[in-house]
Amino acid sequence: MLSLLTNVMQEIVHSLVRVMMRGTEYQTFCKCEQCERDIIALSLNTLPAHYVTTEKGRTAVFERLNTAENLEWINKRIIHSIYVVGKYPHRH
């Protein structure tokens, strides 16, 4: 069920960050919830929002954004954010 407004880009970035931070490539980076949220927020600040109000709209926007070219573009921004946050991790 969608809330009143859903940012499809946020859903995509959140999923990609979770997968990337659990992979072997970023083992040395802090994986606490705060750092993960910081990476997501910083990434979203560099990407356009794609808000929808219906499930049909969400599906259409997701399909449009979920291409190899767009995912590469999104991943570049996430990777940059991982390194920025990694310089100043939130350590408990």
Low-confidence ranges of the chain (pLDDT < 50): 92
Q: What is the pLDDT at residue 2?
A: 58
pTM of the model: 0.89
Q: What is the pLDDT at residue 3?
A: 63
pLDDT digits over 74-91, tens only? 999 999 999 999 988 766
Q: What is the pLDDT at residue 28?
A: 86
Q: What is the pLDDT at residue 91?
A: 60
Q: What is the pLDDT at residue 1?
A: 55
What is the H or E stretch that residue 69 is in?
A: helix 68-87
